Amino acid sequence: MSPPAASAQVALGSLAAVPDTGAVPRHVAIIMDGNGRWAKRRLLPRFAGHKAGVDTVRRITRAARALGIEALTLYAFSSENWRRPEAEVSDLMGLLRLFIRNDLAELVADNVRLRIIGDYRRFSADLVALIDDAVARTASNTGPTLVIALNYGAQAELVAAAQRLAARAAAGEIAPEAITAEAIEAELDTHGLPPLDLVIRTSGEQRLSNFLLWQAAYAELLFVDTLWPDFDEAALGEAVAAFGRRQRRFGGL
């Protein structure tokens, strides 16, 4: 058994023997963790791990399209990542620039719509312009959606949504009782996307790290030991198969 498959089996526990129903999650989100440890194990600088991680992003986005996943959301840069050394943040921004420049043509050709969640406008002006151009060039595409979370934090997202709704209520535009779950969802960065079905975190860590907290309320969670640069097409296939073995009740029987 390959390492990715073994990780999926560990996460599933007793459900591992349940047959795969063949169900494909419409919306998958991935916390891409382990680039630094991948590099450290190879006595390489952290930048090498991040660069290998970008190569994995490329492979996994293609594999997700082949599997029929409608939306893939990748946690690329959290609002807490600013705490990292300035040189590492600069390296991450540089890799983001390269990814957009090198892969935008493929996204356009494959009818993929690029969407950004998070406050990416805190980035440098040239990077913001590059992101805006990429989003605009794919806006009319009708195929799967690639969502990149940049300077994203779920708590900040929820606070902003609550503040906007509270301001409308204070102005008399809506009644307080109109602030429903549906109203909050309409204010979130992810509005219009399919409901979140599956969250995958690589590297063995088992927490959400301020990622899609509202959206993950009834998502299936899968934690695998594989470090992100080693997470390949087969590992994604195992994750989708694991999803197919889950029994989703959404609070019912």
Active-site residue, from 20, 33, 91, 102: 33
Is 232 among the catalytic positions? no
What's the pLDDT at 85? Answer: 94
What's the pLDDT at 18? Answer: 57
pTM: 0.90
Spell out the domains of the chain, with CATH numbers in brackets.
Answer: 3-11+20-153+195-243 (3.40.1180.10)
Distance CA 121, CA 178 (A): 31
Which residues does 214 contact at the CB level (< 8 Å), separation at least 6?
154, 157, 158, 184, 185, 188
Distance CA 103, CA 98 (A): 8
26 marked as binding residue: no
58 marked as binding residue: no
Residues in the chain: 253
Active-site residue, from 20, 55, 81, 110: 81
For tokens 């300035």, name the residue: 86
Tell me how far CA of residue 180 lies from CA of 140, 172, 177, 193, in angstroms.
Answer: 31, 16, 7, 18
Q: How many CB atoms lie within 10 A of CB 153?
A: 19
Mean pLDDT by 10 residues, the chain (253 residues): 37 49 93 97 97 97 97 97 95 96 96 97 96 97 97 98 98 97 98 98 97 97 98 97 89 73
What's the pLDDT at 250? Answer: 80
35 marked as binding residue: yes
37 marked as binding residue: yes
Task: Give ∠ CA 164-167-169 in degrees, rounded to 5.
Answer: 110
Is 81 among the catalytic positions? yes
Distance CA 126, CA 185 (A): 31
Distance CA 137, CA 140 (A): 7
201 marked as binding residue: yes
What's the pLDDT at 16? Answer: 46
